Structure 1
Amino acid sequence: MAKEVTLHINDDYSKQMREGYPLIHKEAVKEQELPEEGSMVRLLDMKNRFIANGYIGVQNKGVGWVLTHRQDPFDLAALFQSKMLAAMNKRQGFFQSPDTNAFRVFNGEGDGIGGLTIDYYAGYYLINWYSEGIYAYKQFVIDVLDTLGDYDAIYEKKRFRKHGEYVEDDDFIKGERGEFPIIVKENGMHYAVYLNDGAMTGIFLDQRDVRKAIRDTYAEGKRVLNTFSYTGAFSIAAALGGAEKTTSVDLAKRSKSKTVEQFSVNGVDFEQHEIVVMDVFDYFKYARRKQLQYDLVILDPPSFARSKKRTFRTAKDYPTLLQDAISITSNHGIIVASTNNASFGMKKFKGFIKQACNKMHVNFNILEQYQLPADFQTNKQFIQSNYLKVCIVEIQKK
């Protein structure tokens, strides 16, 4: 780790950073030349008054994160330990749950250290590093997990580019290597998880509450379409909730075998359900041509996706996606509309829903809405940290 460097923050940013805004924007920094990644930085305003201490770690729109507003000298290892232990204490209910053993134990800036997340999967920790800068503090994080003990192994994902490429080293750090998949529990449902197979694990933990709602409230007796289905996690929830049939659609070829696996670990006969490898937009055309109608349609697209035929951007194209979904949703059917795009808020997202319903000349009623679950702690001063937006929408055709 490099020595501490002083940086000056422009007046446009200094006030909000004093109030708790955690991201250090490049345009906020007066100095043209930034110190190397991992450097500790002392942030001062343009009158040399103290604002905060942080570190340099280039990530998305920022060049670093605030760590503390303490002005007096502090022990960095102790600061990591304090923040991590406080975060884990907040998750004691999850650690003690008999029905759920996969959850987030540390959520970046929401828990006080931007650029770092840690997930727990049935005895295994998975650390996500989002910049070279935070990776410089790896040993501090490992040391805290070691003080807690009682884990099978620690794995990691380096989600940053080095020399223009993502780092794809061995994901294993220490402990006893897992035999994958490991089977985790979520509200009594089971999911096969891989911590050693690329960037994804097989399940997005932030959708836990939504999957439970689908199983408990919306699936029984329904014909369900799960688009952008990935490994079929929503389809599992629907099937276990008594759906008449689920159809899972994803462009990735491996989605079929992964979805079959998820059905199998839950004791569900996958042959009673449909798994389609196809571009979702082509599937909408197919469904309209065949006059298929669904009672429950799940839309959880990536923020950005590109296929040979088209490019999809949530911020621009979500209303059109909703129109396609409405066209094959039965009267009084339900659409689970979801996005993880952090660039806009719930108000704008609801505007997309209204826009699509107006275009399709249907009425709608938002029955429920969800954002991040309790283990995904957010920073109220940094609205982008509460990125998940889910609306459960009833469609009423005229």
Structure 2
Amino acid sequence: MPAFPLSAADLSRVLARRAHLSAQGTTVYRAAHTTETGGVFALDVAADAGVLSLYADLTPAQEQELAALCGEAAGLAGVYLKRRPVEARHAANVARDFLSPPGPVWGEARPEVTALEQGAAFLIRPGSDLSVGLFTDARPARAWVRSCGAARVLNTFAYTCGFGLNAALGGAQTVKNVDLSRKVLAWGQENYALNGLAAPDTDFLYGDVFEWLSRLQRRGDVFDLVVLDPPSFARGKSGVWRSERDYARLAAQAAAVTAPGGRLLTLLNHAGVGGAALERMVGAGLHGAGRRGRVTARPGAGEDYPGATHLKVQVWALD
């Protein structure tokens, strides 16, 4: 058996650094980040369920040992496994059960749990593919959305609508969530209902984001805040999306539905695109749309992602 980068005592010390989060109303978070585990694994916690992400090849016995170590150290009921090789995103559709086994690798089954992020409730499904319902590194960005005071919000690439939910909790009068998956939009509606919010179908827009941006522009709809949280790579009706090539075009279309004095929240999780490159792309898109803007904040990843550089987040104030 290999010597894991953390002993049980070391892992307990890492977990203790997050102990204050639950007292602040957050029970879904990154319990151990790759920068703390020698790049071998990450552990996410959602209520009493754990999600163990592996970035190294281990034998089944080693996986079991590591899952048990994490589950016992964190006091969890069950631990689910996510194998994340470099090619995981491209293999997800053909090797789904291998990359994300639907049952726990250790402990009891927790097919669905309710967890809190700064008091907001989310349904987390630990055995649901590689993404379990919330990207916890964007917690500071969601907190910013909740506190920014925007009255009209457009949340694109909405996934389970975490940004839209926080906008609504923050008092937004209008929130529209757009995604190409009916499944995740329905999941988002469940999150709304869990927090006592109305979730009419008209606020959950199914379809290609670029097509919806064009449609909203033709209708004359404008928003005080537009959230852009695209994947780094995707295939859709508009063709193949590559963030390093297409983000400027996305920013231009978003600017066309952003009210004067409004804001863009731009996010990108792509190791090959730095913050400066993202800023240049968004700036080029704004220029192409005849708008000007400046970055006023960079929320970044949360404190439970020490040393993380993967997530780029920028708040743009437009003219």
TM-score (norm 1): 0.73
Q: Distance in 2 between matches of 1:165 and 1:176?
A: 24
- 1:268-290 CA-to-partner distances (Å, cap 9, x unmatched) read 01128611101000011101111
The corresponding residue for 1:254 is 183
Deviation at 1:335, TM superposition (A): 0.6
Deviation at 1:199, TM superposition (A): 1.7
SS in 1 for 2:148: helix
The corresponding residue for 2:8 is 81
Deviation at 1:351, TM superposition (A): 1.4
Match of residue 187, structure 1, among 88, 99, 118: 118
Q: Conserved in 2, the CA contact under 8 Å of 1:246 and 1:273?
A: no
The corresponding residue for 2:70 is 145
The corresponding residue for 1:23 is none
Distance 1:97 1:341, change over 3 A: same
Distance 1:387 1:134, change over 3 A: farther
Q: Conserved in 2, the CA contact under 8 Å of 1:250 and 1:280?
A: yes
Deviation at 1:359, TM superposition (A): 2.0
Deviation at 1:170, TM superposition (A): 3.7
Q: Conserved in 2, the CA contact under 8 Å of 1:247 and 1:276?
A: yes
SS in 1 for 2:105: strand
Distance 1:155 1:99, change over 3 A: same
The corresponding residue for 2:316 is 393
Paired AA for residue 107 in structure 2: G
Superposition pairs of residues 206-355 of structure 1, within 5 angstroms: 206-219=137-150, 222-271=151-200, 274-355=203-284
Does structure 1 residue 128 correspond to structure 2 residue 53? yes
SS in 2 for 1:295: strand
Q: Which has the higher contact order (CA 8 A, sep 6+)?
A: 2
- 1:351-385 CA-to-partner distances (Å, cap 9, x unmatched) read 1222222222322122211221110122xxxxxx4
Q: What's the C-alpha RMSD, in Å, of the aligned pairs? A: 2.2
Deviation at 1:175, TM superposition (A): 2.5
Match of residue 36, structure 2, among 77, 96, 111: 111
Aligned length: 311
Match of residue 175, structure 1, among 93, 102, 107: 107
Q: Conserved in 2, the CA contact under 8 Å of 1:154 and 1:175?
A: yes
The corresponding residue for 1:154 is 79
The corresponding residue for 2:136 is 205
- 1:73-132 CA-to-partner distances (Å, cap 9, x unmatched) read xxx2584435423321322222x4241111101111x11321311101012111112342
Superposition pairs of residues 33-44 of structure 1, within 5 angstroms: none
Deviation at 1:245, TM superposition (A): 1.0
Distance 1:278 1:80, change over 3 A: same
SS in 2 for 1:270: coil
Rg: which structure is higher?
A: 1
Paired AA for residue 250 in structure 1: D
SS in 1 for 2:317: strand
Structure 2: which 5+ runs fail to align? none
Distance 1:232 1:175, change over 3 A: same
Q: Distance in 2 between matches of 1:326 and 1:77?
A: 48
Deviation at 1:206, TM superposition (A): 0.8
Q: Conserved in 1, the CA contact under 8 Å of 2:208 and 2:237?
A: no
Distance 1:368 1:149, change over 3 A: closer
Distance 1:113 1:324, change over 3 A: same
Paired AA for residue 29 in structure 2: F
Q: Conserved in 2, the CA contact under 8 Å of 1:157 and 1:171?
A: no
Distance 1:218 1:272, change over 3 A: farther
SS in 2 for 1:151: coil
Deviation at 1:307, TM superposition (A): 1.5
Q: Distance in 1 between matches of 2:147 and 2:162?
A: 15
Moved >4 Å (runs of 4+) = none
Deviation at 1:140, TM superposition (A): 4.0
SS in 1 for 2:298: strand
Q: Distance in 1 between matches of 2:153 and 2:201?
A: 13
Paired AA for residue 201 in structure 1: V
Match of residue 101, structure 1, among 17, 27, 34: 27
Structure 1: which 5+ runs fail to align? 2-39, 41-75, 379-384
Q: Distance in 2 between matches of 1:89 and 1:149?
A: 9
Q: Distance in 2 between matches of 1:279 and 1:158?
A: 29
Percent sequence identity over aligned pairs = 24
Paired AA for residue 106 in structure 1: A
Q: Which has the higher strand share?
A: 1
Q: Distance in 2 between matches of 1:298 and 1:78?
A: 38
Q: Conserved in 2, the CA contact under 8 Å of 1:334 and 1:394?
A: yes
Paired AA for residue 107 in structure 1: H
The corresponding residue for 1:4 is none
